[in-house]
Amino acid sequence: MNIPPEPEHSSQGVEELQAEIATLKHELEESRKSTTQYLQNVAHQLTAPLNAIKWNIEAIKDEKIPIARKKNLLSSIYSQGTILVHLIKNFSLMSNLEADHELGQFRDQPDHVSPLRLAINLISDFRPQAAETGKKIEVRMYTFDQIFGEDSLLVEKNLIAQALSNLLENAIKYSHTGTTIYVEAITRTENGKVCLGISVINTGLPIQREELEKLQERGFRGNAAKQKIPAGTGIGLYLADKVMRLHHGWVIANAKGSETRMTLLFPPERAVSREAAR
């Protein structure tokens, strides 16, 4: 029986396959390393507030510490609780959103939400956290009256609350001590349509122009942000962007010098008049 000669290209094919396997192996290793680093970071993010809570509780039990000081410790425990809940909600949200769920698949259905009330409720939750690092948060109420008037937003409330919380948390983290963070309503024309937005403005770390485009990428953190706060997940704006896309809206990032403005921008059809809401 004649054995057919081995085709000339077969050894070349094997080499190519080996090279491809080596590349895939390297990529897999890199992916493993990055997952390990990410999980370590997540673990640090979760344990840091818990460690602070533990010591604050122990300090409250310390009979030598005056009552007035203990009130500050309680306020600090509240802030750490807020940080922890917010963080856990972000991880839960990420797993849902990365499963490519449609808005309708979430437990809560879109609801009529007052943007002003939402902003006020959230800043009251974040104020103690801001105060601990010498910062203030204010809602510019007149802008909400001017832009939204009596209108509400037809959105999934928990998701939008989480997206706005992420903007607030970043603003608190990266603003300078002694500054005020403002929350205001704005309009902006996108694709010929006048869209409505909620902006969070802070004065703090400058963001480079090339970094602005990457802020919504999963895990991305700017250089100045990493230097100021070494630990961080880099998922806040990524999630806010995912949430807004589910609502056919956008997260718009603007930075000029030390002023940063992050905006949740809604398409006009998300604004619903009080009559229609009834």
Partner 1 sequence: MKKILLVDDEPWFTEGLAAALEARNYQCVRAADMTGGVKALQEHTIAALVTDIMMPPGSAFKSVESSESGFQFIEYVKEHWPRLPIVCLSVIADQAKIRFLMKRGVRYLRKGETPLSTAVEVITAVAEGRRVRVNT
Minimum CB distance to partner 1 smaller for 121 or for 227:
227
Output the smallest distance, CB 221 to partner 1, in A. 11
Buried b (16+ CB within 10 A) or exposed e, 67-79: eeeeeebeebbeb
Nearest-CA neighbor of 93 among 252, 264, 219, 242?
Answer: 242
Distance of CA 277 to the CA centre of its chain: 29
Output the smallest distance, CB 16 to partner 1, in A. 40
Minimum CB distance to partner 1 smaller for 53 or for 196:
53
Minimum CB distance to partner 1 smaller for 66 or for 104:
66
Output the smallest distance, CB 216 to partner 1, in A. 23
Using DSSP bridges, classify how beta strands 193-203 and 259-266 pair: parallel, antiparallel or unpaired: antiparallel
Minimum CB distance to partner 1 smaller for 64 or for 256:
64
Output the smallest distance, CB 73 to partner 1, in A. 6
Minimum CB distance to partner 1 smaller for 80 or for 162:
80
Sign of CA dihedral 30, 31, 32, 33: positive
Amino acid symbol at 146: Q
Neighbours of 276 (CB within 10 A): 11
Amino acid symbol at 159: L
Output the smallest distance, CB 67 to partner 1, in A. 11
Q: Write 33-42 long-range contacts (CB < 8 A, 24+).
A: 38/219, 38/233, 41/231, 41/232, 41/233, 42/91, 42/233
Using DSSP bridges, classify how beta strands 180-190 and 193-203 pair: parallel, antiparallel or unpaired: antiparallel
Q: How would DSSP label each residue in 191-208?
A: TTEEEEEEEEEEEBS---
Minimum CB distance to partner 1 smaller for 53 or for 93:
53
Residues that bind partner 1 (CB under 8 A): 44, 47-48, 50-52, 54-56, 58-59, 62, 64-66, 69-70, 72-73, 76, 79-80, 132-133, 226-231
Minimum CB distance to partner 1 smaller for 133 or for 180:
133
Output the smallest distance, CB 254 to partner 1, in A. 25
Output the smallest distance, CB 71 to partner 1, in A. 11
